[in-house]
Structure 1
């Protein structure tokens, strides 16, 4: 008799509507142990347990570990209480049962559903059982979402982690009480803002005094906190963190929830407009008085200044990243001219990144020389230009001009969206964000006009376009503009000692250059 190396898989999730007793982890384990005792051909390798993970997807730590052991040949049999413990997504469950397991020679047993792949093909009711499991999970998901929304409208706190400055009431987790140490910091932030300090200066002050940021404070307090925003490793105060605190109505005693929503079980959460948030006044003790709150909001509105976008444009805006920490480089105007330095270092000092910068003139020279080096190795520019405007493939296999312009246009739209995400996540100040957005919009309009002009000129002499004429006459690029940078460069990383790593849109790898 063959011996099967068996994995006992256990899963429980209240979100799926699992019953606390009959579907408990302990109950599942006892049932599988009894089944194993009655079937000596099944040799238990290990129990794989996912407690608190939904069955509507398979992104579960123990399930992934079981998959790895299955791929490594450590196990060749999977034993579960029933199909719903394995999963509630009928499409994915069917894929595993019909394709993955047979291809790997893995036996699958669901005790209560009478499923055993070794006994022959699955019966015709199996897909229907999977479908019922999925529909049950969807029904529970809708009911949970409705219950959560009702609690939010009643002003009950339903989040995992309260806003910085508050903690859950141990007698009622839907009610918040003040956390004195953090509340003192919140009060100080409002006081500093009212005293005339900007958000960035407040962040620097708190960092200089070694006050833990909200996320770090939660971790130091023993909470298993995970920041869903990008740059999760940030443990210091930032402009964005201070800005969010100064605009959070929770500190007035108002419950502010429902900032995002998920359209379905597998949908990606989307941010809701502020007007759509659920705000219930007077649900908990305030940290900030109404009078101070209104004064601070008035100050925040007054400090929003208008920009001269013509003076703030840079051909490299949005393309420069620090090679050390990965954050955006920011420009600085000095008597010697324009230069770019690490935004993290400039805002928060040497505890975050190293001090390094590069002047605009040096950067432009390095990039121009490298682009011209690539052009010189491309072959006869006249032939390339004629093939390009005629829509023929380049000798290098690159796309025709129209496709390149369209690709650049799509890239600018992605950059425009990325700038908003960087602003939302605190990587860009509001001032820089507004400048970038205006800059990208101007480039998008310019590229749109170029595409329209291209369509008209292709009916006439294709070599009469200005950029083609200039390149053919001079044989090289003599200056960089936003369109050229957007078409040719994906990203520039700036390292100390003027070392650059340039990733081009037409190359798979990046080159490390020095200036």
Structure 2
């Protein structure tokens, strides 16, 4: 009889996207293919998961997460904000700041794993973070084991786990030590005023020093330096996108005679550079983020800004890069100036007027009261505010960034959305609210009924009772063995046989529990979900929104509308011929408790699919109405069935 092959996944990783590291990733993949080929009688390859440009100190890695999901785990991300004291300035002035944290929790799902084992070349490729121990534990619960080929150890053997954890501790200590050395090097660079930069900095040629007594240098690159000047002058408004050549400039902005406009933003500059076939050194388009970073870099006017950024502490909950409150900023002859300080300062004033004033007033970044409220029904992007010749309108974010070829959704003028909000406030929201609440109630009842049907069809009381009795007997037997073990150890007797009996009984007990879980785990989970849905259904019955009488002639304030709706879906294509769009339709998407939405497996737009026919108070008589008394009768009947099932499982 031939030996059954193990279905395996392989994982490899490199920390950066540099050429040598990319070669390392290819070597790792080739190694696994050769290894599987040599052991074809034992292994069947499911897939090789590879991450590049991501540190092993992070658990949040795209393909690493995909591998865990395929292994039967669920990944939940939690965001929260706390206040903490910090001393980020050079003057060490302690102040209170808000810090945003992200945490990742790994949960065992009901899905069957797609493979039985994960092959990793060495422990550091899998993770340099000891928190990975929780992942390994959850994988064991799904009977998916990780084999580290460098030390020939696997999580399938309990004796190997402590050795694996020891190596993982070594890997984390190595990363911490390396991080401390890098940080110390950064501090020395600040103290020694060392010019530091990436060789990829556009506009410059980075000349690395030959000895510690020298300093690094940044020399302007021909052609690229003119592109940098164009970017700054377009932003400042002393150059137009319609100019074929750069206007003559002496960079003395205070006495400049060039007629200056309001300037253009990063998006227009990006489009201008693309139209003129100007790309980055990697032959890519200048993105908005890249241009924003260039417009904030003091090196372009010949100033040293070493130590500007704080990358946070390794393994801390918040590792996002931040600009320090105070950092070294002074002229340096080792950095060739491409623009003047006056031009740089002028651009910073314009950035401040465009962004900081908006944020200081607490307004959304779109500078519009409806920023982020409109959502494109074609691609799902949020609408952003824009203007054309003084007329304000909202435009799909994807369409705004990449044009009509990416999304052809309709634009919405300020006048239309304002009028629509007034209509909702005047009572038009009532029909949508009524229709939605009825639809949600039906979905809740249907979900409860389906779960009850599943439990009743799969229920086997006799089998469950037998398994529970077997579990109780095995548990009593195990306790008796442990008592006997204590006595033998006190007498100094050989307990090898007894230890084997304990291990065998544990294995039997584990097998019984797995069988019992098959009959009870999912039903119990469904019953818990049904109780949540039942509670929400009764909450809906107690609101006036479920009853037509409670909605008649009802009006709303702005805050009430925004508390009820999650967003507004925009339906309709762009009118290529110009003019008004006849097919434009706005449909509010109403809020629902997140827990209920997750249980129902509802996407946010599930109740927006009837948007082709807008409901108003005038045509409510055409809506299929179920009287509240009938709704209550339905949920009462389901509730009675739930109570019977609860007594059988709890």
| TM-score, normalisation: structure 1 | 0.57
- Residues in 2 aligned to 1:306 and 1:70: alpha-carbon distance in whole angstroms: 49
Aligned equivalents of 1:32, 1:299: Cα separation in 2: 55
* Residue 141 of structure 1, CA deviation: 2.5
CA gap of 1:398–1:66, structure 2 versus 1, over 3 A, is closer
- Please tell me whether residue 269 in structure 1 is matched to residue 269 in structure 2: no
- SS in structure 2 at match of 1:121: helix
Within the candidate set 389, 399, 411, 1:356 is matched to 411
Corresponding residue SS for 2:588: strand
> Which residue does 2:539 correspond to in 1?
397
For the structure 1 residues 506 and 5, does the alpha-carbon distance in structure 2 shift closer, same or farther, using more than 3 Å as the test?
A: closer
Q: 1:338-357 residue pairs with structure 2 within 5 A?
A: 340-342=393-395, 356-357=411-412
Does the C-alpha gap of structure 1 residues 13 and 364 become closer, same or farther in structure 2, counting only changes over 3 Å?
closer
Counterpart in 2 of 1:134?
A: 172
Distance in 2 of aligned mates of 1:167 and 1:29: 36
Partner residue of 2:430 out of 357, 372, 376: 372
Question: Cα deviation per residue 1:227-254 (whole Å; 9 max; x = unaligned)?
Answer: xxxxxxxx6776x876654443121122
Residue 287 of structure 1: how far off its partner (Å): 0.8
Does structure 1 retain, via aligned residues, the 8 Å contact 2:120–2:148? Answer: yes
**Which whole-Å deviations, capped at 9, do the CAs of 1:267-291 have from their partners, x for residues lacking one?**
3334535633454532421110235
Q: Which residue of 2 aligns with 1:143?
A: 181
The match for 2:588 is: 502
| 1:250 corresponds to | 299
CA spacing shift, 1:314–1:209, aligned 2, 3 Å: closer
Q: CA RMSD in A?
A: 5.6
1:179-227, Cα deviation, whole Å (9 max, x unpaired): 433422321233342442224378547635744799x635525xxxxxx
CA distance in 2, matches of 1:371, 1:474: 9
Picking from 132, 143, 148, the partner of 1:92 is 132
Decide whether the 8 Å contact of 1:77 with 1:107 is kept in 2: yes
Q: Cα gap change, 1:363/1:183 in structure 2, threshold over 3 Å: closer, same or farther?
A: farther
Q: CA deviation at 1:315?
A: 6.0
Task: Mark the CA change 1:122 to 1:372 in structure 2 (over 3 Å): closer, same or farther.
Answer: same
Q: Indicate the SS of the match to 1:180.
A: coil
Moved more, 488-497 or 205-214: 205-214
Match of 1:103 in 2: 142
What residue is the counterpart of 1:423 in the other structure?
A: none
**Helix, strand or coil at the partner of 1:147:** helix
Q: Residue 71 of structure 2 contacts residue 139 of structure 2 at CA under 8 Å; is this kept in 1?
A: no
Q: Is the Cα–Cα contact under 8 Å of residues 6 and 43 in structure 1 kept in the other structure?
A: yes
* 3-state SS in 2 of match to 1:493: strand
Q: In the alignment, is the contact (CA less than 8 A) between 1:500 and 1:514 conserved in 2?
A: no
The partner residue of 1:180 within 219, 222, 226 is 222
| 2:260 alignment partner in structure 1 | 196
User: Does residue 83 of the first structure (1) align with residue 123 of the second (2)?
Assistant: yes
Rounded to whole Å, the distance in 1 between the matches of 2:433 and 2:32 is: 71
CA gap of 1:327–1:304, structure 2 versus 1, over 3 A, is closer
Q: Is the 8 A contact 2:59 2:127 kept in 1?
A: yes
1:29, 1:376 → 2: CA distance?
60
Cα distance in structure 2, aligned partners of 1:44 and 1:285: 58
Task: Please say if residues 10 and 48 of structure 2, whose CA atoms lie closer than 8 Å, have aligned partners that are also in contact.
Answer: yes
Distance 1:191 1:351, change over 3 A: farther
Q: Report matched runs for 1:297-312 at 5 Å.
A: none
Answering whether residue 542 of structure 2 is matched by residue 485 of structure 1, we say no
How far apart are the structure 1 equivalents of 2:49 and 2:537? 55
How many pairs were matched up?
406
TM-score (structure 2 length as normaliser): 0.47
Q: Secondary structure of the equivalent of 1:492?
A: strand
Change (3 A) 1:329 1:493: farther
SS in structure 2 at match of 1:90? coil
Unaligned 5+ segments in structure 2 are 73-111, 239-258, 439-534, 544-548, 573-582, 598-603, 615-650
Distance in 2, matches of 1:348 and 1:28, equals 35
Show CA shifts across 1:278-308 (max 9, x none): 545324211102354455556777899989x
Q: Is the 8 A contact 2:432 2:588 kept in 1?
A: no
In the alignment, what sits opposite 1:56?
57
The answer to whether the 8 Å contact 2:145/2:154 transfers is no
Counterpart for residue 207 of structure 1: 271
CA distance in 2, matches of 1:242, 1:31: 41
Q: 2-side partners of 1:133 and 1:347: how far apart?
A: 42
Contact 1:79 1:111 in 2 (8 A): no
| Offset from partner CA, 1:97-125 (integer Å, 9 cap, x none) | x441463254735443x535566633655
Residue in 2 aligned with 1:330? 385
Give 1:64 deviation, angstroms. 5.8
Secondary structure at the counterpart of residue 172 of structure 2: helix
- Tell me the distance in 2 between the aligned counterparts of 1:204 and 1:178: 25
SS in 2 for 1:122: helix
Which shifted more, 243-252 or 496-505?
Answer: 243-252
Do the aligned partners of residues 211 and 186 (structure 1) sit closer, same or farther apart at CA in structure 2, a change above 3 Å counting? farther
Q: Contact between 1:8 and 1:47, CA under 8 Å: does it hold in 2?
A: yes
Larger displacement relative to structure 2 (259-268 or 43-52): 43-52
Other-structure match for 1:217:
280
Aligned partner of residue 275 in structure 1, secondary structure: coil
Task: Measure, in 2, the Cα distance between the counterparts of 1:250 and 1:135.
Answer: 35
In structure 1, runs of 5+ residues without a counterpart are: 222-234, 380-392, 402-471
Residues 26/306 of structure 1: CA separation in 2 closer, same or farther (3 Å cut): closer
Report matched runs for 1:62-81 at 5 Å: 76-80=116-120
- Structure with the bigger RCO (C-alpha within 8 Å, sep 6+) is 1
Who wins on radius of gyration, i.e. which is larger?
2
Could you say which residue in structure 2 is the equivalent of 1:456? none
**Residue matched to 1:166:** 204
Does 1:287 find its partner at 2:338?
A: yes
